[in-house]
């Protein structure tokens, strides 16, 4: 299979398209959305009825759009899960200065939903001949390539090697948490995301669908550098949702069942070993009886 640049550029668009179609064929009843943590942190096939529609870059706005589309396409849908983090309430891809983040909208979400959020798109770009060739490749392999196991296996199977010193690990974590801490300045995005979550939670309640919000784990190197106020703002945002349709929540940020090195590819992304553990936890969290006790 030819993996040219155009093919890779369009990968996530076709992952979204074909995974939703697979979910419809297989009568999926659970959907996982979110950013890179749930993308790499959950083995799709280890949880019966689940499809993973999280991506490397995804904010609450497009998580909600995906859930809305899933409601239309998956008649058996009972549970939707937003895999999240303390900094997610401040994210808005359409306002990102990083071109890679914005391109996620033009190449994936805007293209699929014809909705670019806060990006001003004056016209739709017609597919190039190369893109048409890639589409034919995608269509020919969709059942085998996109619907068999997890994507981006090279990253998923790696680990945070033993060649790093403790000082180097904490230094890497500091750089990452410094960026995440800086997102708290985006107060307008925080307010808009609160509205988005309220609307989504109400919509799920009306559709008799359980909405879960689960904070994914991070290792001790990352936890040491994150600003505690991010957690406070995350919890405040959820608490603002009326109790009668407030999402069910679980916070695994400090979950100690993960090895801080062997289960991660970096400070907060799980590899396949960590994902196997996380998949088991997620399955137990969303499989509850009527009394609220985990089965």
**Which tens digits make up the pLDDT trace of 41-81?**
998 889 999 999 999 899 999 999 999 999 999 999 999 99
Lowest average pLDDT, out of 40-49, 77-86, 123-132, 201-210, goes to 123-132
Segments of 55-135 assigned E as strands:
79-84
Given a cut of 70, is residue 295 above it in pLDDT?
A: no
Segments of the chain assigned E as strands:
30-34, 50-52, 79-84, 210-215, 248-251
Q: Give the confidence band of 140 by pLDDT, cuts at 50, 70, 90.
A: very low
- Picking from 31, 30, 42, 33, the residue whose alpha carbon sits closest to that of residue 12 is 33
Helix axes 60-73, 11-25, angle to 10 degrees: 30
Angstrom distance (rounded) from CA 91 to CA 96: 8
Angstrom distance (rounded) from CA 3 to CA 180: 32
Q: Phi then psi for 53, rounded to 5 degrees?
A: -115, 25
With a CB cutoff of 8 Å and minimum separation 6, the contacts of 67 are 31, 33, 80, 200, 204
The reply to whether CATH 3.40.50.1110 applies to domain 5-286 is yes
Angstrom distance (rounded) from CA 141 to CA 129: 19
Q: What is the mean pLDDT of residues 238-267?
A: 96
Angstrom distance (rounded) from CA 136 to CA 33: 27
Lowest average pLDDT, out of 41-55, 103-117, 128-142, 190-204, goes to 128-142
């Amino acid at each position: 299979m030819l993996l040219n640049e155009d093919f890779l550029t369009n990968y996530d668009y076709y992952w979204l398209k074909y995974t939703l179609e697979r979910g419809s064929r297989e009568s999926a009843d659970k959907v996982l959305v979110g950013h890179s943590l749930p993308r790499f942190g959950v083995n799709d096939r280890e949880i019966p009825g689940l499809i993973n529609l999280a991506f490397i870059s995804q904010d609450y706005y497009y998580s909600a759009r995906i859930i809305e589309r899933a409601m239309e396409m998956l008649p058996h849908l009972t549970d939707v899960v937003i895999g999240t983090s303390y900094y997610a309430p401040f994210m808005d891809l359409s306002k990102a200065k990083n071109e890679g983040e914005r391109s996620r909208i033009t190449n994936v979400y805007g293209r699929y939903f014809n909705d670019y959020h806060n990006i001003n798109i004056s016209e739709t770009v017609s597919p190039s001949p190369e893109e048409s060739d890639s589409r034919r490749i995608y269509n020919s392999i969709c059942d085998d390539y996109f619907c068999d196991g997890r994507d981006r296996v090279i990253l998923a199977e790696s680990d945070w090697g033993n060649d790093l010193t403790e000082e180097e690990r904490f230094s890497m974590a500091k750089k990452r948490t410094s960026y995440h801490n800086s997102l708290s300045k985006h107060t307008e995005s925080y307010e808009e995301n609160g509205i988005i979550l309220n609307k989504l939670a109400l919509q799920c309640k009306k559709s008799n669908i359980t909405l879960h919000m689960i904070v994914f784990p991070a290792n001790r190197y990352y936890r040491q550098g994150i600003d505690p106020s991010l957690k406070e703002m995350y919890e405040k945002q959820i608490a603002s949702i009326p109790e009668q349709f407030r999402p069910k929540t679980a916070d695994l940020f400090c979950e100690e069942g993960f090895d801080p090195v062997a289960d991660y590819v970096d400070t907060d992304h799980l590899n396949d070993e960590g994902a196997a553990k996380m998949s088991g936890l997620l399955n137990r969290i969303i499989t509850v009886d009527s009394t609220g006790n985990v089965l």
